A and B are shown apart, each in its own frame.
Chain A
Amino acid sequence: DAKTTQPTSMDCAEGRAANLPCNHSTISGNEYVYWYRQIHSQGPQYIIHGLKNNETNEMASLIITEDRKSSTLILPHATLRDTAVYYCIVRRTGANSKLTFGKGITLSVRP
């Protein structure tokens, strides 16, 4: 599976949009971009995933560049409860495909 690169940390103000970047320049055609988050020592939580089109759900939006080498997770109105480690993961489909977590980015939402 392709590797991802994320900044170590970022912060944003409560109520503002949080834009979390991820680079995956070696992504191949059958690999999806997944985002999970982990709130302090809880189990990771699925947020969203996509292949090449932008995706939106009740939690967030995922914007993938046309060349698919990078993506941005957008939390439209960040709250204090969104403070967590966010993992960007590239994963191929098919048998024996594993979800491999990197170090992620720590998002701190400030009041």
Chain B
Amino acid sequence: DSGVTQTPKHLITATGQRVTLRCSPRSGDLSVYWYQQSLDQGLQFLIQYYNGEERAKGNILERFSAQQFPDLHSELNLSSLELGDSALYFCASSGTPEFGTTNEKLFFGSGTQLSVL
């Protein structure tokens, strides 16, 4: 158990809908990362938050947004869903107080499997 909690584990929805994925980082971790994993693209970095602020952006679509709340949990919002958004979405938190340090290790949750029908 990594200590990172993601809910829900599975989500089935229809095209055009909007969903929210939730992540609770390990206790004390300030950084939260979101990754998308699909069969054809592999693990893709989406976005990172550190202590409530956006710190790095990857291949995140404009239809997607995220935020990190004062209690450090994070939510990834996916809107106007398309079939191609079906994927595993992982959240990770960092075990060091500062991002980008030499000893930063990411601890991943078990993911949310999103199926868009």
Asked whether A and B interact, the reply is yes
Residues of A that sit less than 8 Å from B by CB:
32, 36, 38, 41-46, 49, 51, 87, 93-103
Specify the main secondary structure of chain A where it touches its partner.
loop
State the main secondary structure of chain B at its contact with A. strand
Smallest beta-carbon distance B69→chain A, Å: 21
B108→A32 contact, CB < 8 A: no
Out of A51, A96, A102, which one reaches B42, CB within 8 Å? A102
Closest Cβ of chain A to B93, distance in Å, is 11
> Do A98 and B102 touch across chains, with their CB atoms under 8 A apart?
no
Cβ distance A2 to chain B, nearest Cβ, rounded Å: 16
In the complex, what distance in Å separates the CA atom of A75 from the CA atom of B17? 45
* Cβ–Cβ contact A96 & B56, under 8 A: yes
- Contacts A41-B88, A44-B92, A97-B100 known; list 12 others, CB within 8 Å: A32-B102, A42-B111, A43-B4, A43-B92, A43-B109, A44-B43, A44-B106, A46-B107, A49-B105, A96-B100, A98-B58, A101-B43
